Amino acid sequence: MPIPILDLTRQYKAIQSEIDEAVHRVLASGRFILGPEVQAFEEEAAAYCGVKHAIGVASGTDALLLSLRALGIGPGDGVILPSFTFFATAGVVANVGATPVFSEIDPQTFNLDPQSLRTTLERFSEGLHSTNPMNSMNSRNADLDRSFRIRAVIPVHLYGQMADMDEIIAIAREYDVAVIEDAAQAIGATYNSHRAELHELNEPGRSSMKAGAIGDFGCFSFFPTKNLGAYGDGGMITTNNDAYAEKLRMLRVHGAKPKYFHQIIGTNSRLDSLQAAILRVKLPHLDEWIAARQEIATAYDEALADVDGITAPSRADDRTHIYHQYTIRVANGRRDEVQQHLKEQGIGTMIYYPRPLHLQECFAELGYREGQFPVTEAACSEVLSLPVFPELVHDEQEVVARTLCGILR
């Protein structure tokens, strides 16, 4: 039987009456841009994430872009980010005129490696920031010297598990750089911090912090395939900083406050009322859906535990994994072969991501080379995401695991 990587129709059928009522409510109101539905969702999402402010925007990409703009990052600035992530994380840096500075990942969690972050910042602090940092490793690009300073780091909470925020925050504060959490895949993921200054950000009664509540900004995507997905594009920025929140609300409406009076130059990046109403229906179900994903992940872990050549996703002790993706590693160069066999059996899989950002053609002028980030490059050749969505039934999961085991045993 065909087993998709994701089936959004099953979720809709389960909550169809709630969704339809919310859509009809918006249609009857005649309020389609921002308005009361967006404001209500922002308040509910802020409470869920444990932050003071949540600002709805047009997409997860815009959430990252506007966060950079709120910091005034642009030409002459550099932003550190992992090379193993979706393109938007680096694309927004280039689109504000800044320079993406790539870094290595942790081989267990696939997230930004704090030691690689520190090494990169040390290289700049020792004076290499006056030239292209890649020139010290690639003399072919000596003509690309440029001057820029590191202004921010974007840790990505990839696949639904948060990065090592204790270490990342400590290093960022030491070097006075901002922290923008790319939490596009991690809404609802939690982190148990051991740092006293981070506990001060926490709401009373919370034993852990959620994605988007630790950095200067948290950036979320509501692309339909996300754990909390809209029925179109949508995004959100979280922050505990009142001044940043005020600036973000202006930036999303062309920099206007009040309307038609422009203090700054912004853009059009507004979450629409239909998407907000749909997200308001879905948000109360999110923890239930996360629990279902975690149950599926545990079953996969058990079924694949003794299969040579497969490494199941790692779960760090001090954080939760919400399994936006259940991503295994397939060793010995067999990943593509395994994916093809699964496809032939009607089983959907995806590769997130087949090529690291530092080797993308559009970033060739930065001077990175193959072999520079071996952990990232190995991940790109080994990762394979299996079906994991709340409505996946037990029999389907058994077929996936049994087929995968049969291929590799």
Same domain, 271 and 302: no
Average pLDDT over residues 94-116: 97
Query: Is 183 in contact with 228 (CB distance < 8 Å)?
Result: no
The pLDDT tens digits for 260-309 are 999 999 999 999 999 999 999 999 999 999 999 999 999 999 999 989 99
Choosing from 285, 304, 332, the residue where a domain stops is 285
For residue 297, tell me if it sits in a domain: yes
Query: By residue range, what is the domain housing residue 203?
Result: 8-103+110-285
In this prediction, residue 129 carries a pLDDT of: 45
Choosing from 285, 309, 327, the residue where a domain stops is 285
Same domain, 125 and 20: yes
Same domain, 341 and 207: no
- pLDDT bucket at 140, cuts 50 / 70 / 90: very low
Helix (H) or strand (E) holding 149: strand 149-153
Same domain, 126 and 232: yes
Same domain, 272 and 361: no
Same domain, 25 and 166: yes
Same domain, 192 and 246: yes
For residue 76, tell me if it sits in a domain: yes
For residue 3, tell me if it sits in a domain: no
For residue 329, tell me if it sits in a domain: yes
In this prediction, residue 51 carries a pLDDT of: 97
Query: Is 311 in contact with 326 (CB distance < 8 Å)?
Result: no
For residue 369, tell me if it sits in a domain: yes
Query: Is 336 in contact with 360 (CB distance < 8 Å)?
Result: no
Residue 7, pLDDT above cutoff 50: yes
Average pLDDT over residues 364-370: 96
Q: Domain of 294: which CATH number?
A: 3.90.1150.10
In this prediction, residue 125 carries a pLDDT of: 78
Cα distance between residue 253 and residue 266, in whole Å: 6
Same domain, 54 and 192: yes
Helix (H) or strand (E) holding 117: helix 114-125
Q: Domain of 119: which CATH number?
A: 3.40.640.10
In this prediction, residue 155 carries a pLDDT of: 98
For residue 1, tell me if it sits in a domain: no
Query: Is 40 in contact with 203 (CB distance < 8 Å)?
Result: no
Residue 40, pLDDT above cutoff 80: yes
- What is the chain's mean pLDDT, rounded? 93
User: Among 69-83, 123-137, 240-254, which is the least confidently predicted range?
Assistant: 123-137
Cα distance between residue 362 and residue 252, in whole Å: 27
Residue 211, pLDDT above cutoff 50: yes
In this prediction, residue 200 carries a pLDDT of: 59
Q: What is the pTM of this model?
A: 0.94
Q: Please tell me the total count of domains within the chain.
A: 2
In this prediction, residue 376 carries a pLDDT of: 98
For residue 2, tell me if it sits in a domain: no
Q: How far apart are the first and last CA of the chain?
A: 22
The pLDDT tens digits for 235-254 are 999 999 999 999 999 999 99
In this prediction, residue 130 carries a pLDDT of: 45
- CB-count exposure of residue 283 (10 Å: 0-12, 13-18, 19+): middle
For residue 159, tell me if it sits in a domain: yes
Choosing from 242, 262, 285, the residue where a domain stops is 285
Same domain, 65 and 159: yes
Same domain, 33 and 159: yes
Cα distance between residue 191 and residue 212, in whole Å: 10
In this prediction, residue 199 carries a pLDDT of: 54
Same domain, 240 and 368: no
- pLDDT bucket at 1, cuts 50 / 70 / 90: confident
Same domain, 300 and 238: no
